[in-house]
Amino acid sequence: MKIEDLRPAEGSKRRPKRIGRGIGSSHGKTSTKGHKGQKARSGGAKGPGFEGGQMPLQRRLPKRGFTNAPFKREYAVLNLKDIERLGLEEITPDVLKEKGILKDIKNGLKILGDGDIKRPVRIKAHAFSKTAIEKLKAAGASFEVITP
């Protein structure tokens, strides 16, 4: 097969419906919109939450709780089992990005305590979980909290 032999699937290409092009097209005059009314006007279609003037659902329901959205901190996470598998002596956000292990550091790197680590390593990260700290101390690893 060559590139010039490629064709779209049968029936997948249709000409667009030409509306408002005169009486002979069968789509003239009202241009398939019917007579008068809100939907016949330009810009007449309301948004997805519009309920005909009734108070919309998202405004009728009570708002509860607290959202910390503008100050939310999102970390790139790395588990101890992943550190063990990597076999690196020193782990920093720059090293992980350079090796292609993490694509985006986000607001920093956080080390989580899933899995076990058996060898001492040097880790520099922005945050550590409590279980990760306990397991790193037990393994004799050194860790340092770096500020963003």
| pLDDT, tens only, 62-116 | 999 999 999 999 999 999 999 888 888 899 999 999 999 999 988 999 999 999 9
- Print the domain residue range for 79: 73-145
- Residue 131 has a pLDDT of 95
- Residue 147 has a pLDDT of 86
Which residue from 122, 133, 124, 129 is spatially nearest to 94, judged by alpha carbons? Answer: 124
120 falls within a domain: yes
CA contacts within 13 A on the Cβ side of 115: 13
| Mean pLDDT computed over every residue of the chain | 91
pLDDT for 136 beyond 80: yes
133 falls within a domain: yes
Q: Please state, in angstroms and rounded to a whole number, the distance separating the CA atoms of residues 82 and 110.
A: 13
Q: How many CB atoms lie within 10 A of CB 80?
A: 24
Mean pLDDT of 50-54: 91
Q: What is the DSSP letter of 78?
A: E
79 falls within a domain: yes
The answer to whether the predicted template modeling score (pTM) of the entire model surpasses 0.75 is no
65 falls within a domain: no
Tally of domains within the chain: 1
Which tokens in the block code for residue 65?
Answer: 């709780």
CATH number of the domain that residue 121 is part of: 3.100.10.10
